[in-house]
Structure 1
Amino acid sequence: MTLVVIGPVTKDLIVIGDEKSQKVGGATYYQSFVFDKFYNDYLAIVNCSDETLVDDFPDLSKVRVIKKDDTHFFINKYPFKDNLDVRQQLSNFADIPILPSDLEGILPDKIDGFVINPLNRHDFPLETLEYLKGFDVPIFLSIQGFLRLPDRQVNENYAIKLDNFDILPNILSYVDAIFLDESEANLIGEDVHVDEMVITNGSQGSRIVGASETRIDAVPCDNVVDTTGCGDTYMAAYISKRLLENSVKKSGDFASKIAAEKLKNFGHF
């Protein structure tokens, strides 16, 4: 059985104070390093035009590329070196949807679940979600991409704003668990029809809302180097433990620990 992780790989520019660096990014990229360590039977499927981006993945034998005519580009700007919870994010909003026809022939025969990581509203059309639902396995969704819109008032090309999505209830009807942060939870509300909401809040910890609410403390980190991809790392660690042990509290505590380890290094876990 295989956990299938799907979503764009990106070209990222990281700006911390006045320091700039370029690297590979995207939720699927960050998550692959966690799954490679803690849930080895996984397959990462990415969509992009620049296939060399997958060279940085931990195991190329576990990556499949859907070749498109564009690649997602992100700028992550952290204006305060001493407070990396504050971030401004910009994107080119690449329109390169993943379609059922893209996935046919590359999915494994036996699947444990899907982890889907849209970076904008183009990435996963409803027809693709319906197709994945047909496999009758758990679907874990990072919801932020569906909430992203270009903020034309700030920057004609790249600025991002978050807004609710009128077909969000349709999207949620296909998934079992969603991952988001507190600002996104405030935006969509918590009265949503999913089995589990995993809500992160940076250094303030996280909480898992299902039949009841479970609070998870953040693991202290005295040397925060890079927060980009921390939420993606948390998500992958949570899913890894959740599928293996089926415990909300153990999964949250484990995810918090792994996310703290990621914070100590520039780049992936």
Structure 2
Amino acid sequence: MTLVVIGPVTNDLICIGENNFRKTGGATYYQSFIFDEFYKDYLAIVNCSDAKIVNDFPDSDKVKVVLKDDTHFFINNYPDMDNLDYREQLSNFAQIPIFPGDLEGFLPEKIDGFVINPLNRFDFPLETIEYLKSFNVPVFISIQGFLRVPGTESNNSYSIKLDNYGMLTDILSGVNAIFLDESEANIIGLDHDVDEMVITDASKGSRVICDEEVKIEAVKCDNIVDSTGCGDTYMASYIVKRLNNYSIKQSGEFASLIASKKLTKFGHY
């Protein structure tokens, strides 16, 4: 049985204070390092224009590339070294959707579940979401990409703002768990047909909305180096435990611990 993780890989520019770094990114990229350590039977499927980018993953044999004519590019700017919870973001808003036909040749015969990581609302058309739901296995979705829309044009990139998405109700219907932060929860509300809403709030901890509300304390980190990908790390860590039948509380506490460790490293976990 294989956990299938799907979503764009990116070329990123990370700006922390006066220091700039170029690196590979994207939720599927960051999560692959967690799955490679804690859930060995996984497959990552990424959409981009350069197949060589798989060499940056922990195990290139576990990555399949859906070749498109563009690659997502993000600038993640952290202007305040003392507050890495605050991030300014720009994106090229690549329009490189993944369709069911793109996936048919890659999917394994037996699947544990799907992890869906859009970086903008073009990545996963509703037909693709419905196709993945038809396998009747657990489905986990990161919400942020569906909410991203361009702001004002600046230096050939676009600033990002978050806005609700009319297709979201259909996309989320029947999903096992969705992952978002408090600002995104304020946009979409808490009334959705999902089993678990996992809501993070950076250094303030997280909470899971299910039949009840389960609160998870943040694990204190005194040496924050890079917070890019921290939410993706949390999501993958939480999924690992839930698929291994741990409770919501146990899964959240494990995810908080691993996310705090990622904060101390530049790049991936």
TM-score above 0.5, yes or no: yes
Pairwise CA distance, 1:155: 6.9
- 2-side partners of 1:228 and 1:54: how far apart? 19
Pairwise CA distance, 1:136: 0.3
Q: Gaps (5+ residues) in structure 2?
A: none
- 2-side partners of 1:85 and 1:45: how far apart? 29
Pairwise CA distance, 1:17: 1.1
Identity, % of aligned pairs? 69
RMSD of aligned residue pairs (Cα, Å): 1.1
Number of matched pairs: 269
Moved more, 173-182 or 251-260: 173-182
In structure 1, the residue matched to 2:62 is: 62
SS in structure 1 opposite 2:244? Answer: helix
- 1-side partners of 2:2 and 2:94: how far apart? 28
> What do residues 193-231 of structure 1 show as CA deviations (whole Å, max 9, x unaligned)?
111000000000000110111000000000000000000
Pairwise CA distance, 1:153: 6.6
Pairwise CA distance, 1:52: 1.6
Pairwise CA distance, 1:23: 0.4
Asked if 2 retains the 8 angstrom alpha-carbon contact of 1:130 and 1:174, the reply is no
Moved more, 174-183 or 216-225: 174-183
> What do residues 30-86 of structure 1 show as CA deviations (whole Å, max 9, x unaligned)?
000000001111000000001121111000111000000000000000010111000
Runs of 4+ in 1 over 2 A off after TM superposition: 152-157
TM-score by length of 2: 0.98
Asked if 2 retains the 8 angstrom alpha-carbon contact of 1:129 and 1:174, the reply is no
| Structure showing the higher strand proportion among its residues | 2
In structure 2, the residue matched to 1:20 is: 20
Instruction: Report matched runs for 1:33-44 at 5 Å.
Output: 33-44=33-44
Pairwise CA distance, 1:157: 3.2
- 1-side partners of 2:174 and 2:214: how far apart? 24
SS in structure 2 opposite 1:250? Answer: helix
In structure 1, the residue matched to 2:217 is: 217
In structure 2, the residue matched to 1:98 is: 98
SS in structure 2 opposite 1:195? Answer: strand
Q: Gaps (5+ residues) in structure 1?
A: none
TM-score by length of 1: 0.98
1:196 matches 2:196: yes
- 1-side partners of 2:115 and 2:19: how far apart? 33
Matched residue type, 1:113: G
1:76 matches 2:73: no
